[in-house]
A and B are shown apart, each in its own frame.
Chain A
Amino acid sequence: MNEMEEKFGQIYFTILGAVALAFGAAELIASAGGGFTWGILDSSGATDPLFLPWRAIILLSVGFFYLSSVKDFAEVHQLAKAVMASIMIWIVAGMAIWTRIASSIPGEETWFNSLEGFLASYAPPYCPEMFLLPFSLVIVYYIMKEKEAEK
């Protein structure tokens, strides 16, 4: 990766790391009081209260991983930290999406859900990891760059 890309990566993942850290802290605090829902952001842990502090710990780790990766970002071990942080977001957000898929298929009284019910299962609010998911995908660009360099 060139200097420009490295600089951009450093700034970008510092911001993303800080946001992840803030979300993680908020979820950790929220888990003590049973969670919160704010607009389209959901940190209620309504499905399972056990998952909320668990998610908070993962998000805090994600934040630390991103932040610790920004110094000498182009170095492969540093980049690996950012990749790992993104993978962790993909795991949690992927499972949040999977939860919606699993609950959208069967209907409450009928075998299968109605179209309206099916689509409504995907409606907001969403957990913080879902918001971080698209932003974490930027790492794919850096992975591809690194792969090219390896060749």
Chain B
Amino acid sequence: MRSGKLPLKAVAVTIMALVLMALSTASFTITVDAHMPGAKAPPAFELSPIVIADDGTEIEITIEDVGNYHNERMKEFKRDMLKKQNKTEEEIDKIIEKEFAGSTGICPCSSFAFRAALLGISELWGDEIPERADIKFITRRPTPGATQCLQYITGTGPGVPDVKSKGELQMILPDGTEVTDLSVKNLKKYMVDMNLSNWNIVIIRKSTGDEFEVQVKEGVIPEGFFELRKKVKVEKTATPEEIEEFRTQWEAVRDAFLTQPDWELFEGVEEPEEEEPDVVGGAIFFSILVIGLGLLLVLSLRVRVKVR
């Protein structure tokens, strides 16, 4: 019996290990948010860069910089994951090349975080250029896209180029949970159930203590987006039609953050009043101009007649 118990325990441990492995493999195989295979390229957009000072040196961070960084980090993650699955280097290269073909790294999450940071910085610093070390973000969004964007801005992520000083990044989920391990692997645990409250970032000016909260408006994220995301990315139970539908919504959200003005995207931002064209002022000037030209014409004709 003794000898019989041991194999049972071993079997149980093995089964548990297998279950755990299967679970962890399942989490690894969740398609990463950085890219959406088959998604269309972003539309033409104009986003000003985030300008900050890194220990006195002025630097400009564009959304393309953020996208590239996010892309590279996700490739690294994918590479590690594939290595664990005993794939050869050649196979890994092929998979990565195929899966990341055409990916710009500009996804809904990275573009949301970029816009939120841009808005928050302009609200808190105005025309001043903030020192990187003076910036703090509290993010409620546990996705690699948003997190890595903020890590890039604060210089706290691995492999951010030429960092001289660092800002601060804290992740506190809407339920109050603080996440300290911001690796992609760990974030996966918190990405299962997400809703509108996760589209929220607080920007803090550390030197003054002023803070500005950016919350995405209702309606920016299409109806059914969260459910579809869960089906497509977490549960893997989506039908091809649902996958296609999610891809379209994913593109729409990304494009909204790239092209729409702040007041259409975020709560509490008021639409600037459009200046009424000064028609009266213009009409007065135009009248003076016409009268002046008329007088000039009459004068020159009189001079010509006199000469003759």
Contacts and interface: CB of A to CB of B under 8 A. Distances in A.
Contacts of A126: 285
B285 A120 contact: no
Nearest to B276: A120
A123 B289 contact: no
B301 to A, nearest CB: 15
B1 interface: no
Interface string B14-30: 00000000000000000
A109 interface: no
Interface in A100-137: 116-124, 126
Contacts of B279: 116, 119-120, 123
What is the predominant secondary structure among interface residues of chain B facing chain A?
Answer: helix
B21 to A, nearest CB: 60
B210 to A, nearest CB: 27
Interface string B253-286: 0000000000000000000000001110111011
13 contacts: A116-B277, A118-B282, A119-B282, A119-B286, A122-B281, A122-B283, A122-B286, A123-B277, A123-B278, A123-B281, A123-B282, A124-B285, A126-B285
Contacts of A119: 279, 282-283, 286
A124 B289 contact: no
Interface residues of B, number: 9
A120 B285 CA distance: 10
A97 interface: yes
Interface of B: 277-279, 281-283, 285-286, 289
Interface string A34-62: 00000000000000000000000000000
Nearest to A126: B285
Contacts of A122: 281-283, 285-286, 289
Contacts of B278: 120, 123-124
A99 B123 CA distance: 35
B289 A117 contact: no
A117 B277 CA distance: 8
B281 A124 contact: yes
Contacts of A116: 277, 279
